[in-house]
Amino acid sequence: MVEAGMESSRISDPLGAGGACDVVTVPTRQGLEAVDILLRGAAEAVGPVLHDDGHDTLGFLVPPGTAAAWDVPGSTCTGTGGRGAEPAPHPPVTDPGWLLPPERADPATDPAELRAALGEAARLIEAADNCR
């Protein structure tokens, strides 16, 4: 579910293509696992990631238009409708903040890579929870 603070964030064009990024929002636990999977894997693009401390979610910036076909259970992809978001290099400490800031990441996360990483993360979390 997209949290109000995440949805209203304005994310300007880190793609440099004149279009706003869409935002995939996931629970923090799954998102952190997916970030780890993406960073240690052969993913072509791991873009900026927002962390919304107040609502326990992560938001992955993905190319514009991703929301139209996003169908991953447990996540939401919100189109920014051309509004964009402004990835300030030093956001306030309160929500949202950058887990992976724009200047340290690729322009956007590849949606296919993110889809695969979120699936793997869900399986790892389920396996860990079943070991208890």
Question: Is pLDDT larger for residue 9 or for residue 108?
Answer: 108
Q: Is the dihedral of CA 115, 120, 126, 129 positive or negative?
A: negative
The model's pTM: 0.76
Tokens, residue 102: 């724009």
The reported pLDDT for the residue numbered 89 is 43
The reported pLDDT for the residue numbered 107 is 85
What phi and psi values does residue 98 have, to the nearest 5 degrees? -95, 125
78 within 8 A of 7, measured Cβ to Cβ: yes
**Helix locations, the chain, DSSP H:** 4-8, 28-40, 111-130
What average pLDDT does this structure show over 108-121? 94
Tokens, residue 63: 């190319």
